Amino acid sequence: MAQLLLLNKPFNVLCQFTDNEGRKTLADYVNTPNVYPAGRLDYDSEGLVLLTDSGALQARIADPKNKMVKTYWVQVEGSPDDNQLDALRKGVTLSDGPTRPAKVAIIEAPDIWDRSPPIRQRANDFTTWLQIEISEGRNRQVRRMTAHIGHPTLRLVRVAIGPWSLDGIKQPGTSHAVEVHLPKTMKTKETHPRRTQTRNGAGSHRKSNRPPKRKS
């Protein structure tokens, strides 16, 4: 059995355990030792992050070849029309190539926590909430997709990765753990989870097996 921690990552928190610039990291919210992120979520995005102590499970979740669907609630500027939404559904061409077709729908404003700080919005500005499902994990992909159709993202919340979701984890910074049964073929290939690599070369590893201390 592999351990899987489901965390509701707050806004402006790095998806790693260390930072040389004093920003908040996963270490401020995760006390469980020997777990590492399976994939990433941008500093300025919120929502579900999965952490595991299993290298096989980490690869299964994070490897784009496995096409695990990720679901986002996205608040965008203005109101995209049908043609613009259809473009996202068919796939748009970004600077790093065309995207796979996405599932996109307009939704009511979700009943979720207030962001702190809130988005910058003038009183008369109109915004729209979208639910977007993709099976890729490119850098800032959803934000680039909505910008491509002329509706920049104001707020982005990841609510599900494959079968795992934020159900029961409604407050930022909270988490719960589950056990995941690994098929025998995955067990034979079991490795330690890999630390994520940041742009400045620093990884998300910890210096010891003890839980990280919370900042006071």
Domains of the chain: 1-67+167-211 (3.30.70.580), 69-161 (3.30.70.1560)
**pLDDT value at residue 212:** 46
Beta bridge partners of 127: 77
Beta bridge partners of 49: 7
Beta bridge partners of 178: 4
Distance of alpha carbon 87 from alpha carbon 145, whole angstroms: 10
> Which residues are CB-neighbours of 136 under 8 A, at least 6 positions away?
64, 99, 100
Distance of alpha carbon 10 from alpha carbon 56, whole angstroms: 27
Number of residues that make up the chain = 216
**pLDDT value at residue 191:** 56
Q: List the catalytic residues.
A: 42
- Contact assessment for residue 88 and residue 132, using Cβ atoms and an 8 Å cutoff: yes
207: its two tokens:
């210096």
Shortest CA distance to 127 belongs to which of 152, 144, 147, 103?
A: 152
Distance of alpha carbon 194 from alpha carbon 103, whole angstroms: 30
Helices 82-90 and 141-148, packing angle to 10 deg: 140
Cβ atoms within 10 Å, residue 170: 11
| pLDDT lower than 70: segments of the chain | 122-124, 184-216
**pLDDT value at residue 194:** 58
**pLDDT value at residue 204:** 45
